[in-house]
């Protein structure tokens, strides 16, 4: 899963020492040679080969612009941004995750005007609405990056297993619970659903879908803590009940994925990065995708985007805009997405409709499901995104671990929803008061 959540609290603390930095001092005119740096996380040989081809293609179309790549391992990516920014060497163009883009924007490290201009030229209407919302800054003005790929999370289900007990696609909370109960036989080590219960980010992500589908968010429209209310208690109570029908213990990504893939469970909450394994098993026709729904649809998702750093000289800024626009062209976004077919998903309708994308072996094997998954970006909801407000402080809340601990305590620990909700609320208040 690209751009996993890291300690935003730590990032924010470090970022407070930064100021907006330029990517260099090249003052060449628009028609003179200019070199810009492009930092991304595609360090694997196969992925790097795709990026190299894209760069070569761009440089042939723009002979006066050279792209110097800076591939950085994902685990150290955000830290590298801090290091480069503090040294005044932030690359002109960067791949960035939605959460860290908010932090960069707060520290004025992103040229939102240049990004928004490029996005408009790329055809904003073709991007899925949810993907654009994730790249909206807290003030709601402009965008922090142009989405290039992403992944979504929902309930995956084995069609044949469900049909064996007379079930169709589970569409509501009640449907999911009925299926989970019907398949659970703990004596035979069979369970109804692979559900995240670990004290970690996976549990917060999974729980957030259920909470948001019940219109329960962590923050309100003014950015104030809004956890301890009826809708949130209902979601927590439901999640605790559903956890009775999952594997015992603290389930993380490995346990959930393995349980679904080996038939221990007919359902699992997981991201689209389960699809390559399903394809490899030759079982693509037998998997379905459901969105847990109560009052509304809520899909958890994340986006990888291309952004432009602030403080660039004119020639570099123009080059950065050209390169970002190039990467935003449908055929080039298609190549980017297909670096990880099935796992990475299109964030743009033009990619979904692209013949090269549709004919990819992995994508094609899932048939109409591939389009269904991509369009679910329109139903993206995440904690801290309220209307047009995308609050930076949600990162501090997530990094505190309060929500994931709450989920773990009421499921694995069997503790009271009311008491643990109050404990979590107090911890979050303490974090936000600092």
The helix (H) or strand (E) run that includes residue 399 is: helix 393-400
Given a contact cutoff of 8 angstroms between Cβ atoms, the answer to whether 184 and 192 are in contact is yes
Q: At 238, which CATH number?
A: 3.40.190.10
β-sheet bridge partners, residue 310: none
Do 295 and 312 belong together in one domain? no
**Rounded to an integer, what is the distance from CA 167 to the centroid of its chain?**
30
The answer to whether residue 408 is domain-embedded is yes
**Tokens 């609320």 belong to which residue?**
425
Contact 171, 304 (CB under 8 A): no
Token pair for residue 49?
A: 């080969």
Per-residue pLDDT at 31: 62
Distance of alpha carbon 143 from alpha carbon 101, whole angstroms: 10
HSE, CB side, 13 Å, CA atoms: give it for residue 76: 8
Number of domains into which the chain is organized: 2
The number of helices, as runs of H, and strands, as runs of E, in the chain is: 21, 9
Q: Which residue's entry shows tokens 């060449």?
A: 28
* Cβ–Cβ under 8 Å, residues 321 and 191: no
Q: Are residues 57 and 78 in the same domain?
A: yes
Residue 1 lies inside a defined structural domain of this protein: no
Residues 138 and 159 in one domain: no
> Which structural domain, as residue segments, surrounds residue 28?
8-149+305-366
Q: How long, in residues, is the chain? A: 434
CA distance 418 to 392: 27
Are 325 and 395 contained in the same domain?
no
Confirm if 149 and 336 have CB atoms less than 8 A apart: yes
In Å, what is the CA distance from 91 to each residue of 8, 35, 116? 21, 11, 18
pLDDT at residue 387, rounded to an integer: 86
Asked if the structure places residue 386 within a domain, the reply is: yes
Crossing angle, helix 393-400 and helix 98-106, to 10 degrees?
130
- Does any domain span residue 358? yes
Are 296 and 358 found together in one domain? no
3-state secondary structure at position 306: strand
∠ at Cα 119 (115, 121), nearest 5°?
Answer: 120
Q: How many alpha carbons lie under 13 Å from residue 411 in its C-beta half-sphere? A: 30
Sequence-distant (6+) residues with CB within 8 A of 26 are: 34, 35, 313, 315, 316
Q: What is the sign, positive or negative, of the torsion defined by CA atoms of 269, 428, 135, 327?
A: negative
Residue 372 domain-assigned (yes or no)? no
Among 342, 366, 390, residue at a domain's last position: 366
CB 337 within 8 Å of CB 54 = no
295 lies in the same domain as 313: no
Distance of CA 302 to the CA centre of its chain: 1
Same domain, 362 and 390: no
Asked if residue 422 and residue 293 are part of one domain, the reply reads yes
Spatial separation of the C-alpha atoms in residues 369 and 154, rounded to whole Å: 13
Whether residues 285 and 239 share a domain: the answer is: yes
Question: Which residues of the chain fall short of a pLDDT of 50?
Answer: 1-30
In a domain, 208, yes or no: yes
Q: Count other Cβ atoms within 10 Å, centred on residue 359.
A: 9
């Amino acid at each position: 899963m690209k751009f996993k959540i890291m300690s935003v609290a730590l990032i924010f603390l470090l970022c407070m020492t930064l100021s907006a930095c330029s990517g260099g001092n090249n003052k060449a005119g628009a028609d003179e040679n200019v070199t810009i740096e492009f930092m991304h996380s595609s360090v694997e040989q196969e992925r790097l080969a795709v990026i190299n081809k894209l760069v070569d293609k761009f440089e042939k179309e723009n002979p006066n612009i050279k792209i110097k790549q800076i591939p950085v391992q994902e685990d150290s990516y955000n830290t590298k941004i801090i290091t480069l920014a503090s040294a005044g060497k932030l690359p002109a163009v960067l791949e960035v995750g939605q959460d860290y883009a908010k932090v960069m924007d707060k520290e004025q490290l992103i040229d939102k005007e240049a990004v928004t201009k490029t996005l408009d030229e790329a055809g904003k209407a073709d991007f899925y609405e949810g993907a654009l919302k994730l790249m909206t800054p807290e003030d709601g003005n402009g965008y922090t990056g142009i989405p290039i790929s992403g992944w979504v999370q929902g309930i995956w289900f084995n069609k044949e297993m469900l049909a064996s007990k007379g079930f169709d696609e589970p569409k509501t909370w009640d449907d999911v619970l009925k299926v989970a109960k019907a398949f659970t036989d703990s004596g035979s080590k069979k369970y109804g659903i692979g559900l995240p219960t670990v004290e970690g980010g996976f549990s917060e992500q999974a729980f957030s879908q259920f909470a948001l589908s019940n219109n329960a968010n962590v923050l309100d429209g003014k950015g104030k803590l809004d956890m301890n209310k009826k809708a949130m208690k209902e979601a927590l109570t439901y999640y605790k009940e559903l956890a009775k029908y999952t594997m015992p213990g603290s389930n993380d990504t490995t346990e959930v994925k393995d349980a679904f893939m080996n038939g221990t469970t007919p359902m699992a909450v997981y991201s689209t990065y389960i699809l390559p394994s399903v394809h490899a098993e030759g079982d693509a026709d037998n998997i379905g995708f459901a969105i847990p729904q109560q009052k509304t649809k809520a899909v958890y998702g994340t986006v990888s985007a291309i952004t432009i750093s602030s403080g660039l000289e004119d020639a570099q800024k123009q080059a950065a805009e050209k390169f970002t626009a190039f990467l935003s062209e449908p055929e080039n976004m298609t190549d980017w997405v297909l670096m990880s077919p099935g796992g990475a998903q299109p964030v743009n309708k033009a990619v979904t409709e692209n013949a090269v994308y549709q004919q990819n072996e992995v994508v094609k094997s899932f048939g109409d499901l591939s389009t269904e998954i991509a369009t679910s970006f329109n139903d993206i909801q995440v904690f801290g995104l309220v209307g047009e407000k995308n609050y930076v402080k949600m990162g501090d809340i997530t990094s505190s671990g309060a929500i994931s601990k709450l989920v773990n305590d009421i499921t694995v620990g069997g503790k009271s929803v009311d008491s643990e909700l109050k404990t979590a609320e107090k911890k979050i208040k303490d974090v936000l008061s600092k």
